[in-house]
């Protein structure tokens, strides 16, 4: 059984003015997603600015999300690191807190060979007994998980169950599904490619768009699963201009601005991220209005 099907939100982390984590606002966001069709919460991923958190903050945030979701929807903890030992320890801790699954990005900066990726993921899986979703996003990490590597891990390690595929390479995704005989929990890591990946057998999406349009992102998946492929595709195509604006600058710069435009101010970004430029803000505002999002 999949960790989740449908649209999981790569949730932002709200900060106070002093850049400490705003847990009251995070509580509001979790409740918002539980009430508006989001199928899973992915906490402390890229969109959650985990790269600028201390390990203590990171794990406090994971525990808080699990406690506040209270079993209403699954919570997947981002516990990846470029240090295998750190990934193991954070993953074990998240499992102790009750995480429904783990999202593990490929090692970044020091990177790894394909043999190194197999060793890395296998080491975490051995210690952290929860479903593991690998996260392949070479544009950020400089490290791609090759289809043959994905297939070997999924077939040989029981609790490595899936992959968030954000390469943007549909041919690579198709090869993954071919080599695994479709026996993998595939999630789109790109909001503009949800329907194409669903057509290849994906279980859903781990989404930035869901932060501002949870019901619509859920519906793209729900309509597809119900057999309304045309309706799903229509929603996907309608969302394309907004998806583009949500990535007009480095994620999560635009999506935090979008939430503020909706009256859901999640505070500042942590350096080195900076505020969305005025020109991009106006284009984002217009794309949100065109999509039908109510602005404050």
Which pLDDT tens digit goes with each residue over 211-227? 999 999 999 999 999 99
Active site residue 135: yes
In three-state secondary structure terms, 165 is strand
Select which of 164, 223, 256, 257 is catalytic.
Answer: 164
Chain mean position to CA 190: 9
Residue 175 is among the residues annotated as catalytic for this protein: no
What tens digit of pLDDT does each residue of 30-82 get? 999 999 999 999 999 999 999 999 999 999 999 999 999 999 999 999 999 99
pTM of this prediction exceeds 0.95: yes
Catalytic-role residue among 25, 63, 121, 135: 135
* Distance (Å, whole) CA 29 – CA 94: 20
pLDDT (tens digit per residue) in 94-151? 999 999 999 999 999 999 999 999 999 999 999 999 999 999 999 999 999 999 999 9
Cα(226)–Cα(252) distance, integer angstroms: 31
Nearest Cα neighbor of 47 from 188, 198, 189 is 189
User: 6-229, what's its fold?
Assistant: TIM Barrel (3.20.20)
- Exposed, middle or buried, 19 (CB in 10 Å: 0-12/13-18/19+)? middle
Residue ranges per structural domain of the chain:
6-229
Residue 264 has pLDDT above 90, yes or no: yes
pLDDT value, residue 1: 75
Q: How far is CA 218 from the centre of its chain?
A: 14
């Amino acid at each position: 059984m999949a960790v989740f099907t449908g649209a999981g939100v790569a949730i932002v982390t709200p900060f106070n003015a002093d850049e400490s984590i705003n847990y009251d606002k995070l509580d509001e966001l979790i409740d918002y997603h539980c009430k508006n069709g989001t199928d899973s919460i992915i906490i402390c991923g890229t969109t959650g600015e985990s790269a600028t958190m201390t390990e203590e903050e990171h794990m406090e945030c994971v525990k808080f999300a699990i406690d506040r979701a209270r079993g209403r929807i699954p919570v997947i903890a981002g516990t990846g690191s470029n240090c295998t030992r750190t990934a193991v320890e954070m993953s074990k801790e998240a499992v102790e807190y009750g995480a429904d699954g783990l999202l593990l990005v490929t090692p970044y900066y020091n990177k790894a060979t394909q043999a190194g990726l197999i060793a890395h993921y296998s080491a975490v899986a051995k210690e952290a007994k929860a479903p593991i979703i690998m996260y392949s996003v070479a544009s950020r990490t400089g490290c791609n998980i090759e289809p043959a590597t994905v297939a070997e891990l999924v077939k040989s390690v029981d609790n490595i169950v899936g992959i968030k595929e954000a390469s943007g390479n549909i041919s690579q995704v198709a090869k993954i599904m071919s080599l695994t005989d479709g026996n993998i929990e595939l999630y789109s890591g790109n909001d503009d490619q949800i329907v194409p990946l669903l057509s290849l057998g994906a279980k859903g999406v781990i989404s930035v768009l869901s932060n501002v349009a949870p019901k619509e992102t859920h519906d793209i998946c729900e309509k597809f699963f119900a057999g309304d492929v045309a309706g799903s595709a229509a929603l996907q195509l309608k969302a394309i201009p907004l998806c583009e604006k949500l990535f007009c600058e480095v994620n999560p710069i635009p999506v935090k601005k979008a939430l503020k435009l909706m009256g859901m101010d999640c505070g500042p970004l942590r350096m080195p991220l900076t505020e969305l430029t005025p020109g991009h803000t106006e284009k984002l505002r217009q794309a949100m209005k065109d999509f039908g999002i109510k602005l404050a």
